[in-house]
Amino acid sequence: MNKLIEISLKNPLLIFIFTACILFGGLYAAKELPIDAFPDVSSTQVKIIMKSPGLTPEEVEARITAPLEIEMLGLPNQTMLRSVAKYGLTDITIDFADGTDIYWARNQVAERINAVRGDLPSDATGGIAPMTTPLGEMLMFTVEGGGLSLTENRSLLDWVIRPQLRSLEGVADVNSLGGKVKTFEIVPDLNAMQARGITLDSLQIALERNNRNDGAGRLSQGEEAIIVRSEGRINALNDILNTVVKADTNVVVRVKDIASVNISNLTRNGAVSHNGQGEVVEGLVLGLRGANAQKLVEGVKAKLAEIEPTLPKGVKLNIFYNRGNLVDKAIHGVSKAMLEAIVLVLILLMLFLGNIRAAVTVALVLPLSALVTFMLMRYFGVSANLMSLGGLTIAIGMLVDAAVVVVENIESKLAHYDGKSNKIALILQAVKEVSTPVISGIVIIIVVFLPLLTLQGLEGKLFAPVALTIVFALAASLLLSLTVIPVFAAMLITKKHHAEPWLVRQALRVYTPILKMALNKSKLVMLIAITFLVLTMVVYTQIGKTFMPTMDEGDIIMGSEKLPSITLNQSVAMDNAIQKAILKDVPEVAQVVSRVGSDELGLDPMGLNQTDNFVILKPRDQWRTQNKDDIIDSLRQVMTNFAGIDYSFTQPIDMRVNEMILGVRGDLAIKLYGTDLKVLGEKAEKIKSILEGIQGAQDVYTPQNSGVQYLSVNIDREKAGRLGFDVTRIQDALRVQVEGLQLGIVQEAERRIPLVIKGAESLRLSPADFANIRITSSEGVSVPLATLATLDRIEGPVKIDRERASRMVVVTSNVKGRDLVSFVEEAKQKITNQVKLDSGYRIQFGGQFENQQRAAQRLSIVIPIAILMIFILLFSTFHSIRQTVLILANIPFAMIGGVFALWVSGEYLSVPASVGFIALLGIAVLNGVVMMTYFNQLEDEGLQLIDVVMEGAKRRLRPVLMTASIAAFGLVPLLFATGPGSEIQKPLAIVVIGGLITSTILTLILLPMLYQRFGGRR
């Protein structure tokens, strides 16, 4: 390293070129960095979505879900397999180990699907979902206005808007929600068909075989080739009406003779409503995995603005959720904190150095280190987000550490410069003197942050970017401090009168008598320090523990659940009533968009009784209160007027993160596994009632999984057989009459309209009419359904959740006004005592609690390893076990301030707070290294031990105070930051600032005292 320092000082031109490269390369990298609000916390995840219209949840489970799950269980690198079976649909999620290639994973799943495809129902459709992530919901908009019907607006979305958006870079798909999908519907007249001797089969075959264009080959005419094209495709209603079903010598039977044909809609599984004004159509833009969120959103917004003028007059595209807004707020907040930190650092540099040239020289390391960090982020694929830029903000106070020590020593040497000797040689000597402690100190801080790279799960994905940017920035600052900074120091810093700045003089005036007193009364000082250490241990036990502070995303999602047997129309009506009440009673709400049921792709398969209400808030300056919790309490008050509706509150990204990792939403998720759905439901209700009685429980919820009304058609095999019917024929006829059967498509230019055969609407409105429906055999025998089967009305499940091939129900709860860990411990004890489980049933506690336990366990392993690595580095620097132990002894005393700061502020011990303690550990060790190195240097010069301690402590007061105060004040903006993500950074800043206060005091008082007693070399 000394050789590198020498080359740099002797070749300033080379350093200027190097600096220019950093400047241009860093600016280019910053411009090209992908920008998002958060790191991509999604795992390698593949979703299978299979649909089979008409199948009940139990049939879907038995015929589709279970066979697919069994096939998927043996997949390599699989970490989780969970599924949900609902009416007509199953959604299977497979998580793979981090680092698994997504294309390899999708290929493996596709192979397994193909292997089992033959065992699935013949009408089962679907496969692997689009390659997006659960956090891929980038932008949501509604299509409304213009006086158009829901069918027309849905057609605009599907055939005009969606294709154009899908062509944009980074867009995985555009999910269509709400509205009505246009169909050409054929409604058979069963009496007319019986009179003419026509069965449903023959009608179906006639329509399928008379809807096709084809080519026949080529003809030759002289020198020309003529391509033969036969046209028989259905293009309009009249083509369907005039299709011949049966013809003989006496009569021709057309479709219009035995059926009515009209424009209708597919069976709806969901709807979207807006502001209590009725239904609308919604488009949901999904981003590809790894897409640049800001660029994608800007592109989509520009394309929507381009599309809107081309739509029918009056049709508006209303963007109600835009990830770009969150990205802008998050990046603005962290950038503002970073700039404020830089200003504070510059002010402190001026105050401590008392020389604007020296301050500017040190400050140069800040922009240059940031630019190098941007280049490394781009090279290693780290996006610019709240966490990575937050890591850079945290590092700002530490980036100047190396430069401060180097420049301070250069300034000290130049104070005695006579103008005749070699200035470069003097600076080289000054840099070499401090290079060893500087390198050791910075490497130790880097080592301290390496444990963050070993965190797993959500916490690992969140804090790995923090650790990486800190490591990048510190490594850059170390390199720059030993190469670029000495060259600029040689240019900018001139000889000056060696007088300490005013702030340092005042600090020395206060510090000197305190140090003398401490050295004279060392036993009393040690007793006070140990007393505080014991008090810290006591206070630590009083601090609650949680996983992560809840981040304020701005908008709110209110999930609501009604009676399981509710119809779609009634569910929409209730959603509209809730929207009107919210807009009336909560003035902070700008708009409410409610999404009930399943989406088109099946990525979010909710029931007709489940609604996600997107509550979009007005700007904060229009709120009656600045506390978002007060608005949520107002929403709760509104919901008390709607009896029989369960509700809970979350946020868009928070909801998807919880669903992605756990399959459920909530701080605590209690999963109950077993076989009997009825028993599972009873136990879940018991657990729910226990949780509701625990202090701190909020929004306790378990899905209402019973109460769906089923009309069970029990076919009498003997009767059916005697009359010429088989079970399959009866079931197929029922499917056609109720759900409908798609026979093909009708092409209208580029639009593909389903051609469906379906029973009359009156049939679906009356179970009595359904019982009298006539079923026709292949021989033309027609009998009422009641002749072939008995019909029973029974209750059944809404859905069947499964995890690792076991049935499961979930009870979720949020926690407010209490730490998560103590809440879960109380819940565990009460549930164990009050809920008795039979053989084959078990309970698992998950949610954020599971994440907290995993993070705590991992940190308890890696932090001691990091301390051991620091011990080795210190020993290699000082070659003394005693001195190494003395420096490490500063660590527990540094924790005093951090623990008391958490306790006083009311914050919990979370993962961000733990990261703060890790940062504190590094800074505390660095200060010890700086002071211990100088003590040894003075002792080598032959000073007495008391003089070594007094002179060394006073001489190193400035760098120690600078290092600590700059690190602390660099984090002050995070204490007062607002906006998305500030909740995560605040506990970290509290711990570091509080810890630095006690760490600095103890470094300046305890370390000299301990060195005098134990650390001297003689």
491 shares a domain with 377: yes
Q: Is the domain of 432 the same as that of 368?
A: yes
For residue 161, what pLDDT is reported?
94
| Domain assignment of residue 823, yes or no | no
Give the predicted TM-score (pTM) of the model: 0.81
Between CA 385 and CA 387 the distance in angstroms is 6
- Tokens read off for 999: 């760490």
Comparing CA positions, the residue from 670, 666, 691 lying closest to residue 680 is 670
- Using CA atoms of 926, 929, 934, 936 in order, give the dihedral in degrees to the nearest 10: 180
Residue 377 is predicted with a pLDDT of 92
Q: Grade residue 129 by pLDDT with cuts at 50, 70 and 90.
A: confident
97 and 209 part of one domain: no
| Distant-in-sequence, close-in-space partners of 911: CB < 8 Å, separation ≥ 6 | 455, 459, 462, 463, 547, 548, 852, 855
pLDDT at 11: 87
One domain for residues 909 and 782: no
**Close Cβ partners of 282 (under 8 Å, ≥ 6 residues apart):** 140, 141, 142, 143, 176, 177, 178, 272, 593, 595
Residue 1015 has pLDDT above 70, yes or no: no
Q: Report yes or no: 408 and 359 within 8 Å, Cβ to Cβ.
A: no
- Going across the sheet that includes 259-265, the strands are 259-265, 182-188, 751-757, 741-748
pLDDT given for residue 435 in this prediction: 85
Has residue 771 been placed in a domain?
yes
What is residue 455's predicted lDDT score, i.e. its pLDDT? Answer: 83
Residues 522-571 have pLDDT tens digits of 888 889 888 988 999 999 888 888 887 777 888 899 989 888 888 899 99
899 and 964, same domain (yes or no): yes
Q: What percent of the chain has pLDDT over 90?
A: 24
Residues 905 and 988 in one domain: yes
- Please tell me the predicted confidence (pLDDT) of residue 736: 87
Give yes or no: residues 1012 and 956 share one domain: yes
Above 70 in pLDDT, residue 875? Answer: yes
Give the three-class secondary structure for 69. helix
Judged by DSSP in three states, 978 sits in coil
Q: How many CB atoms lie within 10 A of CB 47?
A: 21
> Is residue 246 situated within a structural domain?
yes
Asked whether the predicted pLDDT for residue 23 surpasses 90, the reply is yes
Pair 943, 993 in one domain: yes
- Token couple for 588: 């902070």
**Residue 429's pLDDT band (cuts 50, 70, 90):** confident
| Helices (H), ranges, 772-819 | 785-788
pLDDT of residue 328: 81
Tokens 């134990």: give the residue.
Answer: 1014
User: What pLDDT is stored for residue 419 in this prediction?
Assistant: 65
Phi, psi of 641 (to 5 degrees): -85, -5
Give the DSSP letter string of 229-249.
EEEE---SHHHHHT-EEEE-S
Q: What is the pLDDT of residue 335?
A: 83
Q: What is the pLDDT of residue 577?
A: 94
How would residue 497 be classed by pLDDT, with cut points 50, 70 and 90? low
The two three-digit tokens of residue 817, written as one number: 């006004």
Model pLDDT, residue 17 = 92
Structure tokens at 719: 């009767």
Q: Does 24 share its domain with 113?
A: no
Note the pLDDT of residue 664.
59
Highest-confidence range of 777-781, 958-962, 978-982, by mean pLDDT?
Answer: 958-962
pLDDT at 602 > cutoff 70 = no
Q: Are strands 270-274 and 125-128 parallel, antiparallel or unpaired?
A: unpaired
Which alpha helices (H) appear in 695-817, and where do they start and end?
A: 717-722, 727-738, 761-764, 767-771, 785-788
* φ, ψ of residue 228 in degrees (nearest 5): -90, 125
**pLDDT band, very low/low/confident/very high, at 666 (cuts 50, 70, 90):** low
Q: Is the pLDDT of residue 914 over 90?
A: no
CATH number at residue 83: 3.30.70.1430
Residue 874 lies in a domain: no
Q: Domain boundary at 97, 112, 129, which?
A: 129
For the chain, how many structural domains are there in total? Answer: 5
H-only helix segments in 820-956: 820-834, 848-878, 881-888, 890-905, 911-940, 945-955
Question: What does the pLDDT look like over 279-331, one tens digit per residue?
Answer: 999 999 988 877 788 889 999 999 999 999 999 998 999 998 888 888 888 78
Reported as a pLDDT band with limits 50, 70 and 90, residue 387 is confident
Classify residue 555: in a domain, yes or no: no
Hunting for tokens 């807009």 — which residue is that? 583
Residues linked to residue 226 through DSSP beta bridges, in sequence order = 219
Q: What CATH number has the domain bearing residue 775?
A: 3.30.2090.10
380 and 394 co-located in one domain: yes
Per-residue pLDDT at 226 exceeds 60: yes
Asked if the model's pLDDT at residue 13 lies above 70, the reply is yes
Lowest model confidence (mean pLDDT) among 516-525, 836-845, 922-931: 922-931
The residue range of the domain holding 205 is 197-257
In a domain, 832, yes or no: no
Report strand pairing: 697-701 vs 668-674: unpaired
622-626 average pLDDT score: 85
Give the pLDDT confidence score for residue 1016 in this predicted structure: 64
Whole-angstrom distance, CA of residue 163 vs CA of residue 140: 16
In 185-222, which positions are buried (b, 16+ CB within 10 angstroms) versus exposed (e)? bbbbebeebbebebbbebbbebbeebbeeeeeeeeeee
Judged against a pLDDT cut of 80, whether residue 254 lies above it is answered with: yes
Ramachandran bin of 91, using left for φ above 0, alpha for ψ from -120 to 50, beta for the remaining angles: beta
> pLDDT by residue (tens digit) across 164-215?
999 998 898 898 999 999 999 999 988 888 888 888 888 889 998 898 888 8
Query: Roughly how many angstroms between the first and final C-alpha of the chain, as a whole number?
Result: 30
Instruction: Return all residues near 627 (Cβ < 8 A) that are at least 6 apart.
Output: none
Q: Say what the pLDDT of residue 624 is.
A: 86
Residue 997 to residue 189: CA distance in whole angstroms: 87
pLDDT at position 498: 57
CATH number of the domain encompassing residue 928: 1.20.1640.10
Whether 67 has a pLDDT exceeding 80, the answer reads yes
In one-letter notation, the amino acid at residue 888 is L
The CA distance from 705 to 701, in Å, is 12
Q: Name the average pLDDT for the chain.
A: 86
**Residue 599 or residue 726, greater confidence:** 726
The yes-or-no verdict on residue 659 having pLDDT over 80 is: no
The answer to whether residue 619 is domain-embedded is no
* Cα 610 to Cα 616: distance, rounded to the nearest angstrom: 19
Q: How confident is the model over 355-380, as a mean pLDDT?
A: 90
Please indicate, yes or no, if residue 857 is contained in any of the structural domains. no
Q: Which two tokens stand for residue 752?
A: 């593909």
Does residue 1018 surpass a pLDDT of 60? no
3-state secondary structure 421-441: CCHHHHHHHHHHHHHHHHHHH
State yes or no: pLDDT of 130 exceeds 90: no
Q: Which of 748, 765, 796 is the last residue of a domain?
A: 796
User: Do 423 and 518 reside in the same domain of the chain?
Assistant: no
Among 660-674, 782-796, 893-907, the range scoring the smallest mean pLDDT is 660-674
Specify the pLDDT at position 355. Answer: 79
DSSP string, 456-515: -HHHHHHHHHHHHHHHHHHHHHHHHHHTHHHHHHHHH---------HHHHHHHHHHHHHH
pLDDT for residue 496: 57
Asked whether 93 and 663 are in contact (CB, 8 A), the reply is yes
Highest averaged pLDDT of the listed ranges 532-541, 550-559, 663-672, 779-788: 532-541
Q: Are 56 and 28 part of one and the same domain?
A: no
